[in-house]
């Protein structure tokens, strides 16, 4: 499977490395050239030597998405640090490129829920953290 | 009319001021604290502090009863999302979005955010109007109705100069609706003769521009130049 990861922060870079190790074709897009170091980290070789692709560019730019291979992508994981950017990119990936497997990280729980109802696969780490904290507190009482 | 404006930059602040002057109820949303405090000195309770892409901020501003939401922040993704939620989640009847980077205009269209206003685009159209490089000027796109209106200037060497309107073979889906001549304008009859120097307004289905240009100014001559 060809997986495009948009946003190579802690989450994006770790998921990208996992997907590559699983045997998928992986391309990563990030606007910060330094984010490449997160991909190399803990690998024996460089990210490219390990078979990964990396493109520097802004997630909203069609040229950057195209260079990163969105037209061939089976799955797109959108996890930049901006909720609004993520939600726009995810919807563009679905509508313009017809990709069904789009997964998007949204930090705001209410918008994550609403866009999930609209048919986007949203993942909300904030909601997970709230849930875990509540469970942890419950376990203490 | 109740209007919510997201973004109190130069555009948002002035829009708010104008709309309030016209007697509308306005809430302006600004998420930069310092900017908010500056604008608040003038607009007082008409400006609220908060991130307009957060649902609770929109709800606090009373988005459920808004007639119009205008998103004019400096970030295109914010403007798209604010308008999308206003329309789809809160059933706001009318939205207007600002396009900061014209390269993002496709995203607005793809997600159905209309009208999307781009200053660059507006200025380009004005330039086209002043300097009609291709001989025709787009006056109006009736996007919902799939029609547009263009203006053509008839040069002395244009094949239609001296022709009766009824004899000009206009492509199907197009019609000459008005002739501007010597400071006046009129609706032509089929026996009206087009003269060099006339400005002709044509309503047409999108995509017929090249066909029309070929009839008014073939061989790349520039009727407007």
Q: What is the ipTM of this complex?
A: 0.90
What mean pLDDT do residues B160-168 have?
Answer: 91
Residue B107 pLDDT > 70: yes
Q: Does B80 touch chain A (CB under 8 A)?
A: yes
pLDDT of residue A66: 96
Which candidate in B50, B80, B109 is best for mutational testing of the A interface (most A CBs within 10 A)?
B80
Residues in contact with A20: Cβ distance below 8 Å, sequence separation at least 6, in sequence order: A26, A50, A51, A52
What phi and psi values does residue B55 have, to the nearest 5 degrees?
A: -60, -40
Residue B175 CA to residue B198 CA, distance in Å, equals 16
What mean pLDDT do residues B66-80 have?
Answer: 96
pLDDT of residue A111: 96
Q: Does B125 touch chain A (CB under 8 A)?
A: no
Interface touch B107/A114, C-beta < 8 Å: no
Residue B89 pLDDT > 90: yes
Residue B222 pLDDT > 50: no
Question: In terms of CA atoms, which chain B residue is nearest residue A97?
Answer: B110
Residues in contact with A103: Cβ distance below 8 Å, sequence separation at least 6, in sequence order: A75, A76, A77, A78, A121, A122, A123
Which candidate in B59, B101, B107 is best for mutational testing of the A interface (most A CBs within 10 A)?
B107
Interface touch B56/A110, C-beta < 8 Å: yes
Interface touch B77/A92, C-beta < 8 Å: no
Q: Does B85 touch chain A (CB under 8 A)?
A: yes
Interface touch B104/A60, C-beta < 8 Å: yes
Chain mean pLDDT for chain B: 88
The answer to whether B128 and B137 have CB atoms below 8 angstroms apart is yes
Interface touch B77/A96, C-beta < 8 Å: no
Give the pLDDT band (50/70/90) at residue B151: confident
Give the residue, A127 or B190, on which the prediction is more confident.
Answer: A127
Q: Does B109 touch chain A (CB under 8 A)?
A: no
Contact residues on chain A for B76, CB-CB shorter than 8 A: 60
Q: How many CB atoms lie within 10 A of CB A2?
A: 16
Residue B220 pLDDT > 70: no
Give pLDDT tens digits for B165-207. Answer: 999 988 888 999 889 888 888 899 889 999 998 989 888 888 8
Q: Does B106 touch chain A (CB under 8 A)?
A: yes
Q: Exposed, middle or buried by CB within 10 Å (0-12, 13-18, 19+), for B132?
A: middle
Give the residue, B190 or A75, on which the prediction is more confident.
Answer: A75
pTM (2 decimals)?
A: 0.76
Residue B142 pLDDT > 80: no
Give the pLDDT band (50/70/90) at residue B145: low
pLDDT of residue B205: 87
Distance (Å) of CA B96 to CA A54, A94, B1, B110, B196: 36, 24, 15, 15, 41
Residue B13 CA to residue B108 CA, distance in Å, equals 23
pLDDT of residue B208: 85
What mean pLDDT do residues A94-101 have?
Answer: 95
Which candidate in A6, A58, A60, A99 is best for mutational testing of the B interface (most B CBs within 10 A)?
A60
The answer to whether B178 and B201 have CB atoms below 8 angstroms apart is yes
Distance of CA A115 to the CA centre of its chain: 16
Interface touch B77/A91, C-beta < 8 Å: no
Residues 65-84 of chain A with CB under 8 A from chain B are 82-84
**H or E stretch covering A76:** strand A75-78
Give me the total of CB pairs closer than 8 Å, taking one residue from chain A and one from chain B.
43
Q: How far is A85 from chain B (nearest CA, A)?
A: 6
Contact residues on chain A for B88, CB-CB shorter than 8 A: 118
Residue A104 pLDDT > 90: yes
Residue B223 pLDDT > 50: no
Give the residue, B14 or B120, on which the prediction is more confident.
Answer: B14
The answer to whether A95 and B111 have CB atoms below 8 angstroms apart is yes
Q: How far is B83 from chain A (nearest CA, A)?
A: 12
Residue B225 pLDDT > 50: no
pLDDT of residue B23: 95
Residue B214 pLDDT > 90: no
Say how many residues make up chain B.
Answer: 225
Q: Does B57 touch chain A (CB under 8 A)?
A: no
Residue B135 pLDDT > 80: no
């Amino acid at each position: 499977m060809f997986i495009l990861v948009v946003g190579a922060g802690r989450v994006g870079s770790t998921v990208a490395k996992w997907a590559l190790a699983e045997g998928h074709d992986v391309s990563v897009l990030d606007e910060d050239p330094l984010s490449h170091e997160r991909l190399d980290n803990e690998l024996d070789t460089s990210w490219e030597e390990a078979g990964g692709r990396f493109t520097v560019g802004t997630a909203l730019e069609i040229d950057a998405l195209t260079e990163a291979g969105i037209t061939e992508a089976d799955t797109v994981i959108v996890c930049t640090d901006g909720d609004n950017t993520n939600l726009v990119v995810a919807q563009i990936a679905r509508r313009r490129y017809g990709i069904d497997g789009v997964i998007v990280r949204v930090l705001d729980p209410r918008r994550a829920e609403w866009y999930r109802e609209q048919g986007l696969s949203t993942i909300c780490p904030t909601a997970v953290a709230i849930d875990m904290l509540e469970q942890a507190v419950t376990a203490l009482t | 009319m109740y209007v919510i404006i997201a973004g109190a930059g130069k555009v948002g602040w002035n829009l708010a001021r104008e709309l309030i002057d016209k007697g509308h109820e306005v809430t302006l949303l600004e998420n930069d604290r310092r900017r908010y405090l500056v604008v608040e000195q003038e607009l007082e309770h008409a400006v609220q502090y908060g991130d307009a892409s957060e649902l609770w901020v929109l709800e606090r501003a009373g988005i459920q009863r808004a007639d119009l939401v205008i998103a004019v922040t400096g970030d295109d993704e914010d403007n798209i999302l604010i308008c999308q939620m206003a329309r789809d989640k809160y059933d706001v009847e009318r939205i207007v979005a600002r396009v900061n980077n014209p390269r993002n205009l496709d995203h607005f269209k793809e997600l159905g955010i209309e009208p999307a206003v781009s200053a660059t685009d507006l200025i380009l159209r004005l330039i086209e109007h002043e300097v009609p490089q291709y001989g025709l000027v787009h006056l109006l796109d009736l996007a919902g109705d799939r029609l547009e209106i263009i203006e053509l200037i008839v040069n002395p060497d244009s094949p239609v100069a001296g022709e009766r309107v009824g004899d000009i073979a206009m492509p199907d889906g197009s019609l000459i609706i008005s002739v501007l001549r010597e400071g006046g304008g009129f609706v032509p009859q089929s026996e009206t003769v087009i003269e060099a120097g006339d400005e002709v307004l044509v309503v047409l289905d999108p995509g017929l521009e090249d066909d029309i240009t070929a009839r008014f100014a073939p061989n790349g001559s520039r009727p407007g130049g």
